Structure 1
Amino acid sequence: MIDFRYHLVSIVAIFLALAVGIVLGTTLLQEPAIELARRTSDELTNANNDLRSELDTLRGREAGNDAFVTASTPEMVANALTGQRVLLVEAPGASSTVREAAQQTLTEAGAEIAGRVTFTDKFLDPKGTGVVDGLVSQLKPANMMFPVTSTAWDRAATLLAATYVTNDQAQAGTPNATTADVTGAFETGGLLSTEGEPAKRSTLAVMIAPERPYDGETAETQAGALASLADGFDIGSKGTVLAGAVPLTASPGDVISVVRDDGDISKRVSTVDTLDMPMGRVATVYALREQLDGRAGQYGIGKGASLIAPAVTTATPSPTTQSGS
């Protein structure tokens, strides 16, 4: 009869064998697993180093290109806008650095900068359209009519365009007597602020888009309001360019995309989505020149852009009385 000690020794032997098998199995599997992980890590490190090197190279090329364009800009835009008075229209959230760089390029092109009109978040607030509409009704000249389908921002754009821009070269630099109270009323209402002498009307306008697309539930409505402004200024002047930086991701709050997606507005208003780059500021000048010829285009590197920049045209623009573009 097998006694208890035999059973105990058998059980111990079994567990000992299992333990030895586990140790041996783990040891045998460990080396290939470690080697595979090491090779994978090395490959990822090398790939990351290669990408970093490519990025550094691209950054160097971009910096060199920007430096070249910046140095060449005065010659590239010389006299392109001589005789034209340009209004800067700044959207809420626009970059002052980008705007100042754009203003310098416009000046190098021979344009006279009339000043700046900066809109506030309150102007774009959908809850405040009643205030905007009330001011428009109170301040508009008797002969100013609006389409039945126009929005509060469409009507405001028409009134503000009559105040700040003109398509008549002879009226450039003069205020519109019939809209003399508009600036004061809109400033008092907290809807905009001004700098310089924007009421002495301009022949062209550049709207600086927000640095980042609007977000939230009202983003698309806010972007649409700015599109209405750009369209209104274009119709009331010799031309308007909406310029900003291409967003990293598509967004319904991107005003440049809203303009490009609108078949009617995009026929009149030009857009440039590289204003934060030297080539984009040159493109903006060329786009204004194109507007003087009654044409519009969508320029840059983002969705909806047809070319990086307009074709270069003759240096000295001819005065025109054409309405809008």
Structure 2
Amino acid sequence: MIDFRYHLVSIVAVFLALTVGIVLGTTMLQDPLLNTLKAETTQLREQSEQLRTEKDLADQLNTGSDALVAAYADDMLADRLADRRVLVVEAPGVEPELRDALIEEIKRADGTVSGQLAFTAQYLEPGQATFVNELTDQLSDGLELPRGNPYERAGAELAQAVVDGDKDVPDGVAVRTGDSFDGEAVLAGFTEAGLLSVQGSPASPADLVLVIAPTEPFPLAEGQEDDGEAVTPPGNAAMLALARAFSQAGGGVVLAGPPSADGPDGMVQQARAEDVRFSTVDNAGAATGNVVAVLALAAEAEGRRGHYGVGAASDGYLPDPLPEAQPEAAPSPSPSPADRADS
């Protein structure tokens, strides 16, 4: 007959066996497991130290390259943009230091900044598209606008206001139908509407246009993240429509931005994905990148375009061959004594 003592002894035996098994298992597995973890930790630490060393060397190399380029920038850029008028266009979110540095390099290359257009965040708001379209129509006197979305039509109108319009333009681009078109009125209208701000005299037609991309990419529209397909932030679409319009109107265009602009959702990356017909630079902000941006402008003046910098889709670090320096304009001859007497 099985009594309570038998059950008690059986239960104690089972728990004792479990305890012995656990002790033996942990003792036998402890050393191999710890050794494996220690080895992996050591390997990861060595890899981290190697990557840190490589990063420090890359930083030193970049710093040295920037210092070298800064020291010889005058010689590298002299007369590259002589007699060229450059319009500087800022997207919302451009850092003032980046803009000022690029303008300084344009002047170092003997170029003239004809003016600056800084677009506001309001211009890019999706809810403003209808207003942008209506404003474009109101200011289109003397201009035949192409079909397209509001930002394409606005870009075509603004391009006529700021880009040298003496060149032949392809079909579908805004064209002037008479002498009534007033570029200054167009800029004033967009300024009064809070869509952009103006410095200098951008209505004096420019030969070249430098469009500066923001440091932080524009956000996606609500719901775009869930589409599962390649999407374009609305801000990118609006600003790239401007750049395309400037290029189609006959101006040489360079879109320049810091490395982040060539990252996910960046303007430069989007432009390259669309295979735009103007130049891009993906490392502006550093001394070397700013020089490359100016050389890209000079190459555009020669009718050459390309994608420059360090991004995967770049054609090379800088234009090859380098653009030629422009000859200095001959000074006006001084009047002779006889001429002065006649006058």
TM range (shorter): 0.7 to 0.9
| SS of 1:180 mapped into structure 2 | helix
Match of 1:192 in 2: 196
| SS of 2:79 mapped into structure 1 | coil
**Shift, 1:317, TM fit:** 6.2
| SS of 2:182 mapped into structure 1 | helix
- Describe the superposition over 1:175-211 as per-residue Cα deviations: whole angstroms up to 9, x where unpaired: x972231222111111101122323332211010121
**Shift, 1:39, TM fit:** 2.1
Whole-angstrom CA distance in 1 between matches of 2:117 and 2:242: 12
Write the mapping of 1:132-281 to structure 2, written as runs, cut at 5 A.
132-142=132-142, 144-147=143-146, 149-166=147-164, 178-217=182-221, 219-247=232-260, 250-251=263-264, 253-263=265-275, 266-267=276-277, 269-281=278-290
TM-score, structure 2 normalization:
0.79
| SS of 2:45 mapped into structure 1 | helix
Whole-angstrom CA distance in 2 between matches of 1:131 and 1:7: 88
Whole-angstrom CA distance in 1 between matches of 2:166 and 2:328: 13
Count of residue pairs brought into register by the alignment:
307
**Shift, 1:248, TM fit:** 7.7
1:121 alignment partner AA: A
Contact 1:141 1:179 in 2 (8 A): no
Whole-angstrom CA distance in 2 between matches of 1:80 and 1:154: 31
Contact 1:207 1:240 in 2 (8 A): yes
Write the mapping of 1:10-21 to structure 2, written as runs, cut at 5 A.
16=16, 19-21=19-21
Whole-angstrom CA distance in 2 between matches of 1:280 and 1:215: 25
| SS of 1:60 mapped into structure 2 | helix
Write the mapping of 1:86-125 to structure 2, written as runs, cut at 5 A.
86-125=86-125
Contact 2:309 2:318 in 1 (8 A): yes
Contact 2:115 2:202 in 1 (8 A): yes
**Shift, 1:221, TM fit:** 3.2
Contact 2:183 2:203 in 1 (8 A): no
Residue 33 to residue 197, structure 1, CA distance change in 2 (3 Å): same
Residue 56 to residue 3, structure 1, CA distance change in 2 (3 Å): same
| SS of 2:260 mapped into structure 1 | coil
Contact 1:168 1:203 in 2 (8 A): no
Match of 2:314 in 1: 305
Q: Which runs of 4+ in 1 moved over 4 A?
A: 1-18
Q: Structure 1 unaligned segments of length 5 or more: list them.
A: 170-175, 320-325
Residue 22 to residue 70, structure 1, CA distance change in 2 (3 Å): same
**Shift, 1:6, TM fit:** 8.6
Contact 1:205 1:237 in 2 (8 A): no
Match of 1:314 in 2: 324
TM-score, structure 1 normalization:
0.83
Name the stretch that deviates more: 74-83 or 296-305. 296-305
**Shift, 1:11, TM fit:** 6.8
Match of 2:83 in 1: 83
**Shift, 1:146, TM fit:** 2.2
Whole-angstrom CA distance in 2 between matches of 1:129 and 1:8: 83
Whole-angstrom CA distance in 2 between matches of 1:227 and 1:242: 9
Match of 1:62 in 2: 62
**Shift, 1:10, TM fit:** 7.8
Whole-angstrom CA distance in 1 between matches of 2:235 and 2:266: 9
Whole-angstrom CA distance in 2 between matches of 1:17 and 1:223: 69
CA RMSD of aligned residues (A): 2.9
Say which of 271, 282, 285 aligns to 2:291: 282
Whole-angstrom CA distance in 1 between matches of 2:99 and 2:308: 18
**Shift, 1:274, TM fit:** 1.3
Whole-angstrom CA distance in 1 between matches of 2:2 and 2:298: 108
**Shift, 1:168, TM fit:** 5.1
Match of 1:129 in 2: 129
**Shift, 1:4, TM fit:** 8.1
| SS of 1:307 mapped into structure 2 | coil
Contact 2:214 2:261 in 1 (8 A): no
Q: Structure 2 unaligned segments of length 5 or more: list them.
A: 168-179, 223-231, 330-343
Match of 2:339 in 1: none
**Shift, 1:255, TM fit:** 2.5
2:259 alignment partner AA: V
**Shift, 1:162, TM fit:** 2.2
**Shift, 1:289, TM fit:** 1.4
